[in-house]
Structure 1
Amino acid sequence: MTILITGANGTVSREVLRELAGQQSVRALVRDAARAPQLDGVDVVVGDLDRPRTLTPAFEGVTTLWLLTPMGPTAPSQSMNAVWAARQAGVRHIVRLSAIGAAHDAPTRNGRLHALSDAEVQESGIRWTILRPSHFMQNLLAAKAGEHLYGLFGEAKVGLIDARDIAAAGAAILAAPERHEGRIYTPTGPESITLHQAAEDIARATQKPVRYAPQSPDEVRDSLLQAGLDEWSAEVLAEYRAAYGSGWGDFTNDHVEQVVGRAPRSFAEFANDHREHFANL
């Protein structure tokens, strides 16, 4: 069995590779070999999901595909190219990282785009499993400035999850995909918390004062544009702010424990693991 990991330089895929390295025959798909993760037991192949002709050699001999595309308006095209290459190569199972609340009527355009790609995978004729995880804890690593923590939750709670736990679930599925055929999982953390609580956890971990500074959807959009983010992404994140602020992400479940056999990490554990990073912001 050979597993191909797309998005190999991304937050979740890097952790999937760490989980699988030395345990399974695994390849990392990257656009630039010089930037590939350096992990023993991982073969690096060069290909670009925007350029279908580059995918044929990368997919040759692959039995199981980890399909991740970055957020953006061309994501369905990238996913389509990967699914087409998978069909041509005889891939037997696709494990797709989708998005929380992916649906044709999702409150964010990112969720609606993911719904299109989820449907394509489901109708591809290839066995599949889909993950639609909650908000990544890692997103908060770039959300602190001095004593202030920013974010997309408003005053609501969200069952945010450590990307390492998403990766652990993904790796477990990739290693034994037949057990998870036709399943859709929505991995969350162990508790739903506000960003006020997150700020308190960071403050305890760093021994420095931190407080959450809520922003409206418009303020989120404007601040992201001022920071140099492209307009499409800034508007989508403002849509997530409106959705999360309505309580849309206020839920938890046991999907990580079902798949991995252990509970997911709490945000307090995450903050402690990254206390040096937070302390230096």
Structure 2
Amino acid sequence: MSRTVLITGTTGTVSTALMNALEGADAGLRTLVRDESRAHGLRERGAEVFVGDLDDARSLPPAFEGVHDLWLLTPNGPRAPENSMNAVWAARQAGVERIVRLSVVGAAHDAPNRSGRLHALSDREIERCGMRWTILRPHWFMQNLLNEAGSISSTGTFSLNMAAARLGMIDVRDIAECAARVLLDGPDRHHGQTYTLTGPRSLTFDEVADALSRALGRPIAYLPVSDDARRKTLLGYGVPRWIVDMLEEYAQAYASGWQDGATDAVATVLGHPPRDIADFVRDHAAAFTQT
């Protein structure tokens, strides 16, 4: 019998990729959106759409009724543990069998960033929720590089406040494929597992620039900048101050060597290695090319 999967964070990068990864699978897809205006495209893809908000626990029960598996992705922000708590409670009340939760790399009560500490609270709740569960902790998304596409296209450079950090960065498509595999494998196979998902190797941004140079056929350079310079840029784009502070904490941690390394978790789940940076830049070359 087909299982019903409720996907939260539906319009975000990872959940969108998850919808792609689940296309054609033997699963009933249900999505939770905050705004009815976002529902049309999801219905065209064959998903049931329910309007609800993780900020509002009272809005959630209809979406959870009859669900077997919950894909839980909460918005980045100070209310993330509350959002997760609301979803877990709605899932428990509705008799959901399993939660597959997207956490973050290095989530821990002593993480050097507020996001990691907040996610640790929700991870612990999931571990004790009484349902089957799996937690995915992905590293820095390769897709974050698309935020620098304009600069790369126009100037051949990109600037981050990461100094010489080395990161086990991962393609979001691999995160989504891992999530899809866990969801489709059934509720027992991955129960109680926490997977730290990375790419095949740890990279510096100079190595990323080299990969971009080879793919685009022109020189691309990484230009490290200070925290203050990056903060000014992000605030100028309208990024909320809380997010800017959080990103700065991550950058400082990465620059200090925190989370330098790679795991075999993707290969364990999927049976094949994750995409390398060369695969990512080749597949997204058009985004980095001025039109």
Per the shorter chain, which TM-score range? Answer: over 0.9
Q: Which moved more, 1:154-163 or 1:21-30?
A: 21-30
CA distance in structure 2 between the aligned counterparts of 1:143 and 1:136, rounded to whole angstroms: 13
Pairing 1:165–2:170 present: no
Identity %: 52
Task: Look up the match of 1:97.
Answer: 102
Tell me, what secondary structure is at the counterpart of 2:243?
A: helix
CA displacement at 1:134 relative to structure 2: 0.5
How many angstroms does 1:208 deviate by?
3.1
Pairing of 1:1-281 with structure 2 (within 5 A): 1-23=3-25, 24-36=27-39, 37-38=41-42, 40-144=45-149, 145=151, 146=154, 147-176=156-185, 177-280=187-290
1:182-201 superposed Cα distances (whole Å, 9 cap, x missing partner): 00000000111111111121
What residue identity is the alignment partner of 1:225? L
1: CA distance between counterparts of 2:236 and 2:124?
A: 36
Aligned length, in residue pairs:
281
Report the TM-score when normalising by structure 1: 0.96
CA-to-aligned-CA distance 1:100-142 (integer Å, 9 cap, x gap): 1000010000000000111111111111110111000001100
Task: Indicate if the aligned counterparts of 1:208 and 1:279 stay in contact, CA closer than 8 A.
Answer: no
CA distance 1:257–1:152, change in 2 (3 Å): farther
Structure 1: which 5+ runs fail to align? none
Q: 2: CA distance between counterparts of 1:224 and 1:40?
A: 34
**TM-score, normalization by structure 2:** 0.93
User: Measured at CA, do residues 55 and 20 of structure 1 come closer, stay the same or move farther in structure 2, by a change above 3 Å?
Assistant: same
Runs of at least 4 residues off by over 6 Å: none
Cα distance between partner residues in 2 of 1:266 and 1:33: 37
Inter-partner Cα distance in structure 2 for 1:217 and 1:259: 36
| 3-state DSSP of counterpart to 1:95 | strand
Q: Which amino acid counterpart does residue 221 of structure 1 have in structure 2?
A: R
Closer, same or farther in 2 for the Cα pair 1:152/1:183, shift >3 Å?
farther
Deviation of 1:78 after TM superposition, in Å, equals: 0.8
| CA spacing shift, 1:248–1:265, aligned 2, 3 Å | same
Tell me the SS of whatever aligns to 2:189: helix
